[in-house]
Every structure is written in C-alpha cells, then in structure tokens.
Amino acid sequence: MTPEITSIDCTAFSYHIDDVGTDGNGFNLVYQPGNEHERKMFALRINTDVGVTGEYVDIGGFGENGPVEAQVRMMADYLVGKNPLARERHWSEIQRGFRKYDRMGLGPIDIALWDFAGKYHDAPIHELLGTYRTRLPTYASTYMGDQNGGLDSPAAYADFAEECLEMGYPAFKAHGWGGGDDQRDIDREVATVLELGERVGDEMDLMLDPACEYETFADALEVGKACDEADFFWYEDPYRDGGISQHGHRTLRERVDTPLLQGEHLRGLPLQTDMMATESTDLVRADPEYDGGITGAIKIARVAEGFGLDAEVHSAGPAHRHCVAAIRNTNYYEMAVVHPDCRGSRNLPVYAGDYNDDLDAVDSDGTVPVPDGPGLGVEYDWPFIDRNRLDYWEVS
C-alpha cells in the first residue's frame, strides 16, 4: 500500500535564552550578560495514514522564522493526499512553486519527509543516504564578537580557542564583529586572525567567517591576506556582496591563497553549481535547512564531488549530522554557535532525549555521533513545544 499524507500541522513557539542580545543593528546575536532573548521557532508534523509522522523543528533561524513558516503553509494543500515517499517529485514541484521566493520553505518539508521515510523503513536517515562515517569531526564555531566582556578582543578569541582545543576540538571558527559603524574595525579583525594563528595555529584548523560584514572588497582582501599569513583553513563570506558574487570571489581567489568557502547565501542547486563551474569558490556550502532539505544539501555535495571539491555542511542539527555522515568529500561538522560565557544557548529544550548541540557536546577526540534511531533519530518534546505555543495551524 502506498502511504498518503493526511494532514500537516505547524506550531509556532518561543522560549527564552539567558545572556544573549543583539548588537548595533539588531541583526546579530551576541553575548549580553543579564539580558533575556526570546527565541522563536516552529515545529512541523507531516501526518500519514500509516500511523507514522514526519517531524521537523527549526534550528537554523536563531531568530524570526516567520517567512519560512509562511512558505511551508503555502505548500500544505499541495502535500495533503500525496505519497510522502515521493521526495524527488515533491522537491521538483515545490522548487517550481516557490520560483518567485527564496525557496527556504522547501527545507523543513523535505527534512520532515526524510524523517518519515526513516521511520517508515525503520532506518536512520544516514543509512538511507549511504553511510560514510558515524563519528563527525567537529569545529567550534563562535558567536559574533561583542563589546560586553565576552568575545570582545583578539585575545578573548584566542583564549577561547585554547579552551576548545583543550576540550578536544580539532578546529575553530571565529565570526568577527559587526552590527554598525562604531563596532566594525578591520584592524581588530586582522589582529584576531594573527593572534589565533600564533596561539593555536599549529594545533587547530582555523577558519574565519565575517558573515558579510566587511563593507568593501578591499577590506575582504586585507583580512584575506592576514588569513594567508596565519595559514587559515578557510575564509568564508567576507563582504557586502552578500556572499553571492561569482566575479567578486573569483577575483578574491586570485589574490588570496586561503581557500574560500562560498555558497551559504546562494539559494538553489544551479546557482551553487555555477559558483563551482566558474571557479569562484574553493569549498562549497550545503545546509539541509537553507538548501532545500536533505535532498537539496546532498545534491550540492554530490555536484561538488563531481567537481573534485569538498562540501562543508553549514550549522548544527540532527539533519545536518545525517548529511555529514553520508558525504565523503567533507571535513567538519559545525558546532554553531558557541561562546565561553554563554553555555547552553544552543542546547535546545526541544529534545526529549539527550541530543545536544552545544560546546560540551563534543567528545575528547573532537567528534560527535550521528543519531542512530529511525529517521532523524531524535525525539521531540511535544509537551514543551505545546506549552510554549504562540500559534498553530493544521491543514487536512
């Protein structure tokens, strides 16, 4: 019997994180002692006539995910009555249906369909994809810099890197400062790169992700040369083109030796492929939430494999772990985002079991496991989600 989707429901909810706030422009989350930040998320369920439910709880937003949830709602009527196992068909139809939007709503739907498939076949998703590894080498990926006594200086970043090295992390990625004219300082970015190289460069792979904060190509070039000097492992999304210009990054690649990692802000497999084909990036970004689900992220990784390039999975979460487990041509799982004084901020209370993506989740060998239960392999705490409900809709 072919299974059928009977209904889709979505719960918007929120909870509070201590000691987190935003910097100047209000776009970046940073350490802010004493502040309480309200984090909004949503939880999606795809219900079927075989008594198996595909689940997804968003972890990527770290903020308002309303537009993504709205896109999911747009596709609910299409999905009801369909075969939940026909992922490639739905991926293709929804891509087309979202052609006027950024297609971010495809990710949650596809991840929930993969969770269904895993539970239906009684296998973890990484097995359905084809397991390559079950322990994932992990890098500590920091919060953005603050001016509140946390990651507030080059030395503070280097101190934290040493602490992460001590915990077993083989690699460390700094997000620099941003958020407004009074907070951006290219000299401080350069100093952070050089200090990290000096303190831990012999023992850790180091990465820098300015998250497109640098205002000019010249700034990107200056910091890129510092990355060369400190022998960085990669340099990611440096400047204000928004991380998407093929010409800009091809030009930057000609002048900087450190491998570039672009693609986090490209939406869609053809654009990612064009970035590779035009030699505009060294490493390729793939994210199961941003790039059309596990289906989309794995397509990007397989295209990169064909180009002889590595695909680095962006951010942390159960779907992300299954992807890293099933990609040969990848280096690290991203423990995002961590901070020396802000522990537990990524230890999401949505899991009923002991699944955890925070600083202390890594083993002393610098790895995390891939979940081994059916589907995503995590159990969601629905009583918690329902207690903290802001909104709810159901389509049947």
What is the C-alpha to C-alpha distance for residues 261 and 323, in angstroms, rounded to an integer?
18
Q: CA torsion sign, 344 to 64 to 285 to 21? A: negative
The CB-of-204 to Mg ion minimum distance in angstroms stands at 18
Per-residue contact string for residues 155-194; x = within reach of Mg ion by CB under 5 A: ----------------------------------------
What is the C-alpha to C-alpha distance for residues 179 and 145, in angstroms, rounded to an integer?
10
* Cβ–Cβ < 8 Å for 46, 54: yes
What is the C-alpha to C-alpha distance for residues 271 and 79, in angstroms, rounded to an integer?
26
* Cβ–Cβ < 8 Å for 16, 23: no
Q: What amino acid is encoded at 380 in this protein?
A: Y
The CB-of-241 to Mg ion minimum distance in angstroms stands at 14
Torsions phi, psi of 198, nearest 5? -70, -45
Q: Which is nearer to Mg ion, 154 or 263 (CB)?
A: 263
Q: Which is nearer to Mg ion, 142 or 295 (CB)?
A: 142
The long-range contacts involving 86-91, CB below 8 angstroms and separated by at least 24 positions, are 87/113, 87/114, 87/117, 87/295, 88/295, 91/292, 91/293, 91/295, 91/296
Q: Which is nearer to Mg ion, 115 or 312 (CB)?
A: 312
The CB-of-235 to Mg ion minimum distance in angstroms stands at 11
What is the C-alpha to C-alpha distance for residues 208 and 102, in angstroms, rounded to an integer?
26
The CB-of-18 to Mg ion minimum distance in angstroms stands at 25
Q: Which is nearer to Mg ion, 241 or 264 (CB)?
A: 264
Residue 312 binds to Mg ion (criterion: CB under 5 A) = no
Stretch of residues binding Mg ion (CB under 5 A), selected from 34-42, 142-150, 213-221, 258-266: 258-266
Residue 334 binds to Mg ion (criterion: CB under 5 A) = no
Q: Which is nearer to Mg ion, 264 or 289 (CB)?
A: 264
In the region spanning residues 337 to 396, those forming contacts with Mg ion, defined by CB under 5 A, are none
Q: Tokens standing for 7?
A: 């209904």
What is the C-alpha to C-alpha distance for residues 264 and 272, in angstroms, rounded to an integer?
9
Q: Which is nearer to Mg ion, 127 or 312 (CB)?
A: 312
Q: Which is nearer to Mg ion, 19 or 209 (CB)?
A: 209
Stretch of residues binding Mg ion (CB under 5 A), selected from 249-257, 261-269, 292-300, 339-347: 261-269
Stretch of residues binding Mg ion (CB under 5 A), selected from 1-9, 23-31, 46-54, 206-214: 206-214
Q: Which is nearer to Mg ion, 91 or 290 (CB)?
A: 290
The CB-of-237 to Mg ion minimum distance in angstroms stands at 5
What is the C-alpha to C-alpha distance for residues 286 and 294, in angstroms, rounded to an integer?
9
The CB-of-93 to Mg ion minimum distance in angstroms stands at 30
Q: In 262-287, which positions are buried (b, 16+ CB within 10 angstroms) versus exposed (e)? A: bbbbbbbbeebbebbeeebbbbbbbb
Stretch of residues binding Mg ion (CB under 5 A), selected from 52-60, 126-134, 156-164, 201-209: 201-209
Residue 209 binds to Mg ion (criterion: CB under 5 A) = yes
CA atoms within 13 A on the CB side of 396: 7
In the region spanning residues 262 to 281, those forming contacts with Mg ion, defined by CB under 5 A, are 264
The CB-of-122 to Mg ion minimum distance in angstroms stands at 35
Burial of 292 (0-12, 13-18, 19+ CB in 10 A): buried
Q: Which is nearer to Mg ion, 317 or 371 (CB)?
A: 317
**In the bound complex, which residue of the shown chain has the CB atom lying closest to Mg ion?**
209
Residue with tokens 């101190």: 159
The site that binds Mg ion (CB under 5 A) totals a number of residues, namely: 2
83 sits in the region (left: phi over 0; alpha: psi -120 to 50; else beta) called beta
Chain-centre distance for alpha carbon 126: 18
Q: Which is nearer to Mg ion, 232 or 380 (CB)?
A: 232
Footprint of Mg ion (CB under 5 A): 209, 264
